[in-house]
Structure 1
Amino acid sequence: MFHTHIAVQTADFDVSEELRLLRAADARIGAVCSFVGTVRDRNDGSSVASMELEHYPGMTEKSIAEMVEAARQRFDIYGARVIHRVGLLAPQDQIVLVAVSSAHRGESFAACEFLMDYLKTQAPFWKKEDTPEGARWVDARVADDAAMARWN
């Protein structure tokens, strides 16, 4: 049985609790890999006072569910938890958690990286940073697209 949890929310999340819930879902689990993304205080040479994340409700969750299903089909994993925050965030705030479980570490590491690459390039999120020069939308990065291309 595959266990998944997907949430798009304004509230912060407790990484320890999320990993506990993932592990508790299946006694076959021998490995859990997780990634936590946070807001940086600098980007593209400017300081960042805050970041606002927007999304398309319903469509975003559906898109993430499709990404998790693609990871399940591609890797031998038992479960995944993906939490992505939206709203106004400050430097050092948590933005995203991707956690994946499997029997062995290799599948968990690969699936976690695969899901993050998808989230960075395919999920319908929009980021706006508040900088000394004014507010600016964050464009997709060439490096993120290159990371995603390697999975094709």
Structure 2
Amino acid sequence: MISDSEIDLEEILGRSINPDYGAVVAFIGVVRADPGVLGMEVEAYDEAALEELKRIKEEAIARFGLSFVDVVHRKGRLLLGEVIVAVVCASSHRKEAFQACEYVIDELKRRVPMWKKELTEEGGRWVKGDA
């Protein structure tokens, strides 16, 4: 999901808790306070981004045998410390959940059409997706 609203971590984690899952792993990315950075603006090509996120989730389920995977990415203007992305993966065992979580965030950054602009006093600068 791509959202203009604050990511509700309690909600996304709540959906992942199930007695059939032995392991739940989450990656939470936040807007970091790099020198001179006041915040971040994120843009997305929503339709294409959602399709690519769906493919990545399907790949992760097939590759790692996941029981559950969810991804929420913010767009719009974000302040320092705000959650920009949440990835949650659940499986029977922790190894697969950890591997899947890393796979999902790496593929998201590599393939999903989203752009980040670090906001500074001078205006801002566009940065690579993995910054």
| Category of TM-score, reference length = shorter chain | over 0.9
Q: Which amino acid aligns with 1:78?
A: S
Aligned length: 131
For structure 2, the 5+ residue unaligned runs are none
- Are 2:114 and 2:129, in contact at CA under 8 Å, matched by a contact in 1? no
Give % identity: 37
**Partner residue of 2:27 out of 21, 35, 50:** 35
In structure 1, the residue matched to 2:118 is 129
Distance 2:28 2:9 in 1: 8
Distance 1:122 1:73 in 2: 18
Deviation for aligned residue 1:140: 4.7
Give the TM-score normalised by structure 1: 0.81
Poorly superposed stretches of 4+, deviation over 2 Å: none
Aligned-pair RMSD on alpha carbons?
A: 1.4
**Partner residue of 1:68 out of 48, 57, 67:** 57
Deviation for aligned residue 1:17: 2.0
Deviation for aligned residue 1:100: 0.4
In structure 2, the residue matched to 1:107 is 96
Deviation for aligned residue 1:139: 2.4
Q: Which amino acid aligns with 1:126?
A: W
Distance 1:139 1:102 in 2: 31
Q: Which amino acid aligns with 1:65?
A: K
The answer to whether the aligner puts 1:87 opposite 2:76 as a matched pair is yes
Deviation for aligned residue 1:85: 0.3
Give the TM-score normalised by structure 2: 0.93
**Partner residue of 1:11 out of 5, 11, 34:** 5
Distance 1:40 1:58 in 2: 27
Deviation for aligned residue 1:126: 0.4
For structure 1, the 5+ residue unaligned runs are 1-6, 145-152
